[in-house]
Structure 1
C-alpha cells in the first residue's frame, strides 16, 4: 500500500503545481479544457508515479549487515521459471487452487501492472501496438536493472530480484494494454464539437476556471518568492552553509515573508493587465478578453482597474490582512470574494462584480482577433 499512497499524494501535489500550465496548453491546443482529457492526464500522472514508487519503495534501512539481511541470490535468467515455482508452492489441485498459487499470482500482477501503461501510451501518445509493446518492455527492463543494481548502486547489493519472467509478464501486459487502448475513447468529455480556433461562449464554468487559475498562480508564485526570500536571508546572514539557524530565527524574517508575496502580486495584478489584452493571467489562459460596451478592446487603465476590483484586489487584501494590526482587511477580502462569486452566478453574461463596476463585458478573444483581422 505504501507505493500506492505515495503515488496518489505526490500525484495530487504535482497536479496542483502543473494545473495552470496544463489548462493553458489545452486551450491553445484544443480551444477548451476537456474534462475527459484532464481526467486521463491525471490518471496517467498518478500511474507513472505509482510505477516509480513500486520500484523504489519501501526502501530498507542501510546497515552494515544490509547484504546479509536483504541481499538476493542473484538474477533469475530462466524464461518461464515461475512454472517451477508454481510446482514448489502448489497448495492443491484444480483451477481454483492454481489461481491461488502465489507464483502465478505474482506473474498475473506483473501483467496487470503494465496494462495501463500500454493503454496510456497507445491512446494518449498515438503509438502503434508494436511501438507501445516495445516501450513497455523498455520500461520493464529499466525497472529490472534498477532493482538488480540496488537502485543504481545506491545500496551495496540488490535487495530485489532481477527476473526475466517479469520482463515477459510486463511486456505482455503492455501488449494487452495497447490492444485495449480504444476503450479509453469511452471516457466522456474528450470530443471536440468545434474547431479549436472557433470562439466559445462565455460560460460560468469557464469564468470559474479563470478565477481558479488566477488564484493558483498567485499562490504558487508567492510560495516561490517566499522561499527565495528565505534563502537570500540565510545567505546574507551566512547561515545557509552552516545550517545552524532556521530562517524564522533571523532578523528580517517577518519583513521578507511579508514583502516577498507582493512581488508576484505586482507582476500578475499590475503588469499582466497593463501589458496584455486580458485583465488577468487566468482569463488570458482560457482565452477571455475584456471589451467595452461597443465591442472595442478595453484599454490598459480599464484592465488594471478591473484587476484591482477582482482577483488582484482580493489577493492584495488577503496578503495585507495577514500583517499585524490589519486584520480588518482580511474581512474585506472575504466580503469581496463572496460578492464576486455571487455576482458571477447572478449577472448577465457572467460578467461578475469587477466587470459590472467597470462597465466592461467579457468575450472570447478569438472573436476579437477575427474582427481585428477583418477590419
Structure 2
C-alpha cells in the first residue's frame, strides 16, 4: 500500500471509531440546542472530524524507525526561514514557458497544495464555530505554526532530531489557505438538511419514524460502548492481578475470574440499559430520553413499574436479551423486523413495545408527569 494512502486509511478508521464514541453526546447536544437533529449538521460534523484527524495523520505519519544512524541519514535540513524562498525554487525548477509549464512547476505545486490543505480548516472554523474572518485566519496560522514546530522538534522531541523541514513558506501558504477558507465558509450553507427549525428548541414536536429509529440506534450504540468500557476495565483489573502474582502464575485466561468476563461485557450493560434505566424513569429507554421522548399511561399518569419493565423487554431490551442468549439470534432478528414495521404501522408511531404494553410515547418537552400524577 502506498505510504500516501496509509495516513488516509488510519484517519478514516479513527474518524469512524471516534464518531461512534461521540455519537450519543452529539445527538443529545443537538436535541437540546436545536430541538432536533439535522442531517446536514451531522454530515458537516463528521466531515470536520475526518478532516482534523486527516490533518494530524498526514503531519505525523508515517513515523520512521529510529536507528543508530537515524540523525545521520534522516535528519532534515536547517529550518528555512526566508519568506518566499519558493520563488527562487520555482525559477530553478521551471521547465519550459507558458501557463501550463508554470502550473506544472513542482515548487508551485507544493505551495498550492499547502494553501489547499488549510482551506477546509478555515471553512469549518468560521462556519461551525462562528468565528470572524480575522480570528479564523489567526487560528489557521496558529495550527500551521504548531505543525511546523512539531516538525522542527522531531515530533516534540519524540525523535532525537528533526526529520522534516520547518519552512516559513509553508507557514505563509497555510495561513493564506485558512484565510481563503474563512472567506469561502458561506458555501457550507448550501449543504442541505441544516435549516434551523421554526420551533423553539424547548417546544414539543411530533413523534416521527426517523426520531424513533434514531432513539433505537442510540440504545444500541450505548450498549456497545458500555460493553466495551466495562469489558476493558475488567480485563485491565485481571491483568493487574495477574502481574501481581508470582512469575510462574498461570496464563491470564486460566485465572478463575476470567470466566466472568461475559458478565461485564454482556449482562451488566444489559441490566443497566434494559432494567435500571426504564425502572428509574418513565419507562422510556436511554435512547428515547436522548431524543426527548418519554412514556405515559393512557390516563396521563406515569406508568407502573411492571409496565415500564414490560415495555423494555418487548423493545430494545428484549432484542438485546435474545442476542445474548444462545440459539435465539433468529428470534432477535424477527423481533427487530416486527419492531421496525411497527414504527410505521402503530398510531403515533408508538412502536411494538408501547402498543403491547398499552403506553403512549410523547415528546418529553411537554408537561412531564410525576409519579402517579396526571399530566397538567
Does the alignment pair 1:233 with 2:238? yes
Distance 1:164 1:124, change over 3 A: same
1:107 corresponds, among 111, 129, 148, to: 111
Does the alignment pair 1:162 with 2:161? no
Q: Which residue of 2 aligns with 1:365?
A: 364
Secondary structure in 2 matching 1:238: helix
Structure 1, unmatched stretches of 5+, are 322-326
Deviation at 1:252, TM superposition (A): 3.7
Q: Is the 8 A contact 1:273 1:280 kept in 2?
A: yes
Does the alignment pair 1:81 with 2:85? yes
Secondary structure in 1 matching 2:7: helix
Deviation at 1:254, TM superposition (A): 3.0
Distance 1:246 1:87, change over 3 A: farther
Over the residues paired in the alignment, what is the CA RMSD in angstroms? Answer: 2.3
Q: Distance in 1 between matches of 2:117 and 2:264?
A: 48
Q: Which residue of 2 aligns with 1:324?
A: none
Q: Which residue of 2 aligns with 1:276?
A: 281
Q: Distance in 1 between matches of 2:125 and 2:245?
A: 43
Deviation at 1:109, TM superposition (A): 0.5
Aligned pairs for 1:87-102 (under 5 A) are 87-102=91-106
Q: Distance in 2 between matches of 1:93 and 1:295?
A: 81
Deviation at 1:90, TM superposition (A): 1.1
Q: Which residue of 2 aligns with 1:340?
A: 339
Distance 1:65 1:174, change over 3 A: same
Q: Distance in 2 between matches of 1:131 and 1:219?
A: 39
Q: Distance in 2 between matches of 1:113 and 1:188?
A: 24
Q: Is the 8 A contact 1:278 1:284 kept in 2?
A: no
Q: Is the 8 A contact 1:225 1:261 kept in 2?
A: no
Does the alignment pair 1:302 with 2:312? no
What is the aligned length?
Answer: 369
Deviation at 1:346, TM superposition (A): 2.1
Instruction: Provide Cα deviations, 1:163-192, integer angstroms capped at 9, x if missing partner.
Output: 000110011000000011111111111112
Q: Which residue of 1 aligns with 2:261?
A: 256
Q: Distance in 2 between matches of 1:133 and 1:373?
A: 56
Distance 1:374 1:223, change over 3 A: closer
Q: Is the 8 A contact 2:78 2:165 kept in 1?
A: yes
Instruction: Provide Cα deviations, 1:240-278, integer angstroms capped at 9, x if missing partner.
Output: 997997643544423323454211211111111122235
Aligned pairs for 1:316-327 (under 5 A) are 316-321=321-326, 327=327
Q: Which residue of 2 aligns with 1:187?
A: 191
Please identify, of 96-105 and 260-269, the stretch whose mean Cα deviation from structure 2 is larger.
Answer: 260-269
Q: Which residue of 2 aligns with 1:314?
A: 319
Q: Which residue of 1 aligns with 2:216?
A: 211
Q: TM-score by structure 1 length?
A: 0.92
Q: Which residue of 1 aligns with 2:294?
A: 289
Deviation at 1:351, TM superposition (A): 1.5
Q: Distance in 2 between matches of 1:244 and 1:59?
A: 37
Structure 2, unmatched stretches of 5+, are none
Distance 1:318 1:374, change over 3 A: closer
Secondary structure in 2 matching 1:368: coil
Q: Distance in 2 between matches of 1:186 and 1:19?
A: 24
Deviation at 1:76, TM superposition (A): 0.1
Does the alignment pair 1:52 with 2:52? no
Distance 1:249 1:74, change over 3 A: farther
Q: Which residue of 1 aligns with 2:138?
A: 134
Q: Distance in 2 between matches of 1:190 and 1:84?
A: 46
Q: Is the 8 A contact 1:234 1:240 kept in 2?
A: no
Q: Is the 8 A contact 1:223 1:261 kept in 2?
A: no
Q: Distance in 2 between matches of 1:2 and 1:300?
A: 53
Q: TM-score by structure 2 length?
A: 0.92
Distance 1:103 1:241, change over 3 A: farther
Q: Is the 8 A contact 2:122 2:182 kept in 1?
A: yes
Deviation at 1:304, TM superposition (A): 1.8
Q: Which residue of 2 aligns with 1:349?
A: 348
Q: Distance in 1 between matches of 2:31 and 2:92?
A: 57
Distance 1:113 1:209, change over 3 A: same
Q: Distance in 1 between matches of 2:117 and 2:284?
A: 46
Distance 1:9 1:73, change over 3 A: same
